[in-house]
Amino acid sequence: MTISGKRNNFLFSVNTCKLRVFLPAAGDWAAFSVALSPMVAHRAPALVSLADYQCEAQRRLDPGALAYVSGGAGDELTMRENAAAWQRLAIRPRVLVGVGQRDPGTTLLGKRRPHPLIIAPMAFQRFAHPDGELASARAAAKTGAIVCLATLASTTAPRLAQAVPDAPRWFQLYVFADRGVSRELVAQAVEHGYEALVVTVDLPVLGVRERELRTPLLATHAEQIAGAAAAGAQGTMTPPQFASLIDADLKWSDIEQFARESPIPVLVKGILTPEDARLAAEHGAAGVVVSNHGGRQLDTVFTGAEALPEIAAAVGERIDVLVDGGIRRGTDVLKALSLGARAVMVGRPVIWGLAVDGADGAARVLEILLSEFDTALALAGAPRAAGLDGSFVAPAPWAGARR
């Protein structure tokens, strides 16, 4: 495109990009050319990391849902530290060990699994996508992950099993004051092929969650939440009201009874000390999940990365140890297994995937983690995930003093 100058006037031109140019004429001057780049359609940036999915999910979720999924307890120190603690560990890579063939598999509760990723139990998933937990189960089926269905899910254990029969599945139990209701929920899960029972024990009362207090999640009809409906709850309820259904007087004797009565293995979720891990083993648990509830219960407790080594050392030879909290990279998975975990649970990132693209988004989040984990195994010189041990990690020199 050429624009020519003229004396004593202004030139007005319109280019093909709808750009208007005003040029004052100031004497004779030679014609000049303006090169314009061709118009190209804007393309949304590719989502290549879990952080990318987090940013996109934050844009899509409504304020109440965003506060629910993003918030933690108190000053949210533990929530932030959950991810930061993995970053304070450095990997000690080995070389020349032959990593052309790699095996990310693990053995969990005596069964061989293709990899160590489990979708953590999370309530009310329809706030992220209309398909909710069914979409998470489809993502699990696509990637070979285990999906752990929550008591306060927006679908029932039978319905998920019927809708996505290929998804490996566990059932998470909040124990209600009415033990008959809890036993019925467990019986339904067993009847429909759930392979393990995960009893969450770190929510006798709801933590102080200020984000949720400022911007609450919209109330939900009790009939739409499987566990609440089974407990006979009615009308619309908020998350704190749902939490009030849980028995605050749960004790180790209850865990022992569930373990004795259950035909499937029982894991105890919410363990942060070796003392409690030993008690879990002594009362019949087949495993523990080292967890601080995503930093949503008691602030300033240990992170999973910090609590894991002592717990694995205390009970790792007797029962299976899993961990959750802040898993955001494949290198985090490698570090967790090096510190003694057999598997990791992934929570918020799956919700981000659901919010962005339903089952496909959740599956893509898991695929990113699995791809990163495979790369980490190769570059760390660990061709078999089962061969990871404490020699592969050390405190990072960049981390400085512990918090």
Distance CA 187, CA 166 (A): 20
Question: Are 374 and 102 contacting, i.e. CB atoms less than 8 angstroms apart?
Answer: yes
The C-alpha atoms of residue 279 and residue 124 are separated, in whole angstroms, by 31
Residue 22 has pLDDT above 50, yes or no: no
Average pLDDT over residues 172-177: 96
Q: Please tell me the class of the 50-395 domain.
A: alpha beta
Q: What is the pLDDT of residue 216?
A: 85
Please state the domain extents for the chain.
2-33, 50-395
Q: Which is the catalytic residue, given 115, 129, 283, 293?
A: 293
Instruction: Identify the H or E element spanning 365.
Output: helix 348-380
Reported as type and span, the H/E element at residue 330 is: helix 330-338
CA 358/CA 126 separation, integer angstroms: 10
The listed range with the strongest mean pLDDT (27-31, 45-49, 184-188) is 184-188
In this prediction, residues 78-97 reach a mean pLDDT of 98
- pLDDT at residue 34 greater than cutoff 50: no
How many angstroms separate the CA atoms of 57 and 45, rounded? 14
Average pLDDT, the chain: 90
Q: Cα angle at 137 between 136 and 142, to 5 degrees?
A: 100
pTM of structure: 0.88
For residue 212, the model assigns a pLDDT of 92
Asked whether residue 99 carries a pLDDT value surpassing 70, the answer given is yes
pLDDT band at 45 (very low <50, low <70, confident <90, very high): confident
Amino acid residing at 117: L
The 10s digit of each residue's pLDDT in 213-232 is: 999 877 788 888 989 888 88
**Which two structure tokens, joined as six digits, stand for 159?**
């319905």
Task: Please compute the mean of the pLDDT values over residues 133-152 and round it to a whole number.
Answer: 98
Which pLDDT band holds residue 287 (cuts at 50, 70, 90)? very high
Mean pLDDT of all residues in 353-373: 98
Over residues 319-342, mean pLDDT: 98
Whole-number pLDDT of residue 30: 44
Whether the per-residue pLDDT at 185 is higher than 80: the answer is yes
Radius of gyration, alpha carbons of the chain: 26
Among candidate residues 129, 126, 117, the one with its CA nearest the CA of residue 150? 126
Q: What angle do CA 138, 134, 64 make, to 5 degrees?
A: 120
Examine the residue annotation and report whether 293 is marked as an active-site residue of this protein.
Answer: yes
Tens digit of each residue's pLDDT (9 = 90 or more) over 187-210: 999 999 999 999 999 999 999 999
Q: What pLDDT sits at residue 400?
A: 77
* Higher per-residue confidence, 222 vs 281: 281
Confidence of residue 267 (pLDDT cuts 50, 70, 90): very high
| pLDDT for res 344 | 99
Give the pLDDT of residue 19.
38
User: Average of pLDDT values for 228-254?
Assistant: 91
Look at 37-51, 82-96, 173-187 and tell me which has the smallest mean pLDDT.
37-51
Give pLDDT, residue 43: 63
Torsion angle of the four alpha carbons 302, 306, 308, 310, in this order, in degrees rounded to the nearest 10: -100
